[in-house]
Chain A
Amino acid sequence: MDERLHAAWRVLPEYLSQHVLLCAAALALALALCLPLTLLALRRPRWAGPLVAVASLVQTIPGLALMALFYPILLAFSALTTAAFGRGVPALGFLPALLALTLYAMLPILRNAIAGLRGVDADVVEAARGVGMTERQILMRVQAPLSAPVVMAGVRTAAVWTIGAATLATPVGQTTLGNYIFSGLQTENWVAVIFGCVTSALVAIIADLSLGAVEQGVALRERKRIFAGVILIIAGVAAALLANFSGGARTYVIGAKNFSEQFILAEAITRRIEGQGATARIQQGLGSAIVYRALAGNDLDVYVDYAGTLWTNVLGRTDTPPHDEMIADLGRALMARDGVRVLGALGFENAYALAMKPERAAALGVKTIADLARVAPQLTLGADLEFLERPEWATLRNTYGLAFKATRSFNPTFVYRALASGEVDVISAFSSDGRIAAEKLVLLADPKGAIPAYDALVLLSPKRRDDPVLDRALKPLIGAITPDAMRAANYASDRDADKQTPAQAAETLLAPIR
């Protein structure tokens, strides 16, 4: 079997079970919330319009944005509960994903339930009252069964939406089938992307068929169909629960941002921890702002971040002190403020850099960023999604007076494609990126030292900062990964032909380390 397919199969039980449980919980919660709201709308018809309007409004927020929104909300809420009860709530992972998906699932359920109940023939409802039914009996014996097909159709729609939208929970730290898609997109592992799409589509189809059986059973008053559908759903959720809890205790959670180097390093750290007889799991595809807070909040135990990112984004510093001084300051500041420990530097830098095709650079006579400033008004800059928002870019722009004709943002992988195809003339790159050497790009020198140091640092959460297992597992990595080794590993997983999975690349990277 293809190694990529094999790798995808291996994590399927975890991804699938997490995905199914998340969706089942969100749908169950949405149903539980919609029931009283529907009854309210039925008893007080004036409320129906506003209720559906609010649910529709939620629906207009993109799924990914809704999940992202819950992160700061939960963070603030967690601060409140910590102050009040001494306990926080997790702001990352299951909870924000659950809340966002629940809100998302409510519109179709609520809209159909209200429409279904209102659609019941008024003569029939009056007859039910006239034969002596109480309001509750009218609801249970007449309105509910007569509106069930419409209500169930809403539940089906909600289920299909939820199962699809759940793939977007990966960036907020919840493992789902979306992990295949997000990591596959980063490493151009199309097998993983297709695998993620197909599996999540299959889950949606199976859920839809099961609920469809229930819907038909209710409409035709055939108990067999209802049972068949319900049993299929219960079996699916039970299997997911079983798979999820038989997986054994996973002790360490390793964070990874959304690019290949992070995936490889997370895999390498996992292997080192497993080498100590402990187990670990990777929470990958996290946004760069979320990942540090997750570590500081003990949602993650360990991850690798870069000195300059921590300096400017996390600490909000705008000065650029000399390299060694900055690393030392950083360690002290993170410990003092958040209790986060910098275990050490891995030995390579992954700095932001500007890169060009050599022939274009030569033709324009550009060797440094200072040279670039001269011709920038004729050129287009291609950047990854973060770069243009980062303070480093502002510093760089102000220091050299850079003013491009246009700037465009891409997913990190596509930045190189855009440069190769001539869509852009200059790109933001990472100095450890294997593609720089592979595509023979020139990195423009930074004579004014505007870009800070970007040493890769291993960070430990407050809870785990003195953990002996992590210490034993990760100390040998400090200073042991050379820039060339990292570049080679990155390239092995980024190149188009004969591509390695992050796990394979991590093996190669660890081979010389004892």
Chain B
Amino acid sequence: MTSEMIGFRDVSLAYPGGVRALDGVSASIEKGAFVALVGGSGSGKTSLLKTINRLIEPTSGEVVFDGAPVAAQDAPVLRRRVGYVFQGLGLFPHMSVAENICVTPDLLDWSKVDMAARVSELLTLVDLPQEVASRAPSALSGGQRQRVALARALAARPPVMLMDEPFGALDPVTRDGLMRACRALHDALGLTTIMVTHDMQEALLSADRILVLAHGRLVADGTPAEFLRDDAAPEVAALIDVPRRQSARIQDLMRGQGPVAHG
């Protein structure tokens, strides 16, 4: 077995009033994996992601990061070792793009020279022109802001990237481009990546492994290939049905057949 980067051991999260956002989730994620966390709204996928860098503390169970329980690690120090792309991006509006990117290196007391070099390197990496460095985030387009958020998460060379619906608000073309850029960065930098998404197609196309959550429980765990097999579990089959039918129709269309109802 390859070495574990992140481990969930019977993780539960209950809110006062008895609502269980997470219910006994256990999983082990090895180094170098690209994992998609899939589920509908309220399934607990974002909560599970946030237990990794202690933005949320589970009410019971244990989360292990790089061999040590996160509860035993100083939260700010832990978070500086984890890249995080927020759903709402959370770029700092009062800082320039360069300052946004270097916020974690600055917390780690990098030198000014190292930080300037890193900004330049990251802008190239996420395919942004160098001149945006001095601009305010508000002066960028939506896609450019996503790239800045990605660059900020990568800045301190974290071994782990957590992404919460990172490209949700973008048009399909930009979204596809960024997704592929992300995957390429993951491979090139040898990261361990966990991405939360509600889009099964995105998960199938980019991840090595897919975890499906429903009502706070882990209901399926497998590779895209396993998910697409005909003998997949019924919960999985339901999730896979939509992308499978859509792709079959597109293939039919490409072969020159007219629109036909599929049953």
* Cα-based distance from A131 to B84 in the complex (angstroms): 7
Indicate if A127 sits at the interface (CB-CB under 8 A): yes
Nearest CB in chain A: distance from B130 CB, A: 21
Indicate if B118 sits at the interface (CB-CB under 8 A): no
Which residue of the partner chain B has the closest CB to A137?
A: B107
Question: With A131-B79, A131-B84, A131-B104 given, is the CB distance from A146 to B89 under 8 Å?
Answer: no
Question: With A132-B104, A133-B107 given, is the CB distance from A127 to B92 under 8 Å?
Answer: yes
Q: Which of B77, B80, B87 interacts with A131 by CB under 8 Å?
A: B80
For A137, the chain B residues whose CB sits under 8 A away are: 76, 107
Indicate if A405 sits at the interface (CB-CB under 8 A): no
Cβ-defined contact, B86 with A123, below 8 A: yes
Q: Which of B80, B90, B94 interacts with A127 by CB under 8 Å?
A: B90
Cβ-defined contact, B80 with A124, below 8 A: no
* Cα-based distance from A352 to B89 in the complex (angstroms): 78
Cβ-defined contact, B55 with A132, below 8 A: no
Nearest CB in chain A: distance from B76 CB, A: 5
Mark contacts of A114-136 with chain B using CB atoms, 8 A cut-off: 1 yes-contact digit, 0 otherwise.
00000001011011111111100
* Cα-based distance from A499 to B231 in the complex (angstroms): 109
* Cα-based distance from A128 to B103 in the complex (angstroms): 9
Q: How large is the interface on B (under 10, 10 to 19, 20 to 34, 35 or more residues)?
A: 20 to 34
Indicate if A417 sits at the interface (CB-CB under 8 A): no
For A221, the chain B residues whose CB sits under 8 A away are: 94
For A145, the chain B residues whose CB sits under 8 A away are: 94
* Cα-based distance from A129 to B93 in the complex (angstroms): 15
For B69, the chain A residues whose CB sits under 8 A away are: none
Indicate if A450 sits at the interface (CB-CB under 8 A): no
Question: With A123-B90, A124-B92, A124-B93 given, is the CB distance from A130 to B55 under 8 Å?
Answer: yes
Indicate if A403 sits at the interface (CB-CB under 8 A): no
* Cα-based distance from A129 to B104 in the complex (angstroms): 11
For A142, the chain B residues whose CB sits under 8 A away are: 92, 94
For B76, the chain A residues whose CB sits under 8 A away are: 132-134, 137
Cβ-defined contact, A126 with B55, below 8 A: yes
For A123, the chain B residues whose CB sits under 8 A away are: 86-90
Nearest CB in chain A: distance from B138 CB, A: 12
Q: How large is the interface on A (under 10, 10 to 19, 20 to 34, 35 or more residues)?
A: 10 to 19
For A128, the chain B residues whose CB sits under 8 A away are: 90, 92
* Cα-based distance from A134 to B54 in the complex (angstroms): 13
For B84, the chain A residues whose CB sits under 8 A away are: 127, 130-131
Cβ-defined contact, A131 with B107, below 8 A: yes
Indicate if B51 sits at the interface (CB-CB under 8 A): no
Mark contacts of B88-103 with chain A using CB atoms, 8 A cut-off: 1 yes-contact digit, 0 otherwise.
1111111000000001
Cβ-defined contact, A131 with B93, below 8 A: no
Mark contacts of B6-28 with chain A using CB atoms, 8 A cut-off: 1 yes-contact digit, 0 otherwise.
00000000000000000000000
* Cα-based distance from A221 to B134 in the complex (angstroms): 13
Nearest CB in chain A: distance from B162 CB, A: 9
Indicate if B146 sits at the interface (CB-CB under 8 A): no
Nearest CB in chain A: distance from B241 CB, A: 34
Cβ-defined contact, A131 with B94, below 8 A: no
Q: Which of B78, B90, B93, B104 interacts with A126 by CB under 8 Å?
A: B90
Nearest CB in chain A: distance from B66 CB, A: 15
Cβ-defined contact, A127 with B89, below 8 A: yes
Cβ-defined contact, A126 with B86, below 8 A: yes
* Cα-based distance from A308 to B88 in the complex (angstroms): 77
For B79, the chain A residues whose CB sits under 8 A away are: 129-132
For B89, the chain A residues whose CB sits under 8 A away are: 123, 127
Question: With A124-B92, A124-B93, A142-B92 given, is the CB distance from A129 to B55 under 8 Å?
Answer: yes
Mark contacts of B65-83 with chain A using CB atoms, 8 A cut-off: 1 yes-contact digit, 0 otherwise.
0000000000011111000
For B78, the chain A residues whose CB sits under 8 A away are: 132
For A146, the chain B residues whose CB sits under 8 A away are: 93-94
* Cα-based distance from A142 to B93 in the complex (angstroms): 9
Indicate if B147 sits at the interface (CB-CB under 8 A): no
Cβ-defined contact, B86 with A127, below 8 A: yes
Which residue of the partner chain B has the closest CB to A126?
A: B90
A–B complex contacts, Cβ < 8 Å, 19 sampled: A121-B90, A121-B93, A123-B88, A124-B91, A124-B92, A124-B93, A127-B89, A127-B90, A127-B91, A128-B90, A130-B55, A130-B90, A131-B79, A132-B107, A133-B103, A134-B76, A142-B92, A145-B94, A146-B93
Among all A-B residue pairs, the 8 with the closest Cβ atoms:
A127-B90, A132-B80, A123-B88, A132-B79, A130-B84, A123-B90, A132-B76, A134-B76
Name 14 extra pairs, CB < 8 A, besides A132-B77, A146-B93.
Answer: A123-B89, A123-B90, A124-B93, A126-B55, A127-B84, A127-B86, A127-B89, A130-B55, A131-B84, A131-B103, A131-B104, A131-B107, A137-B76, A142-B94
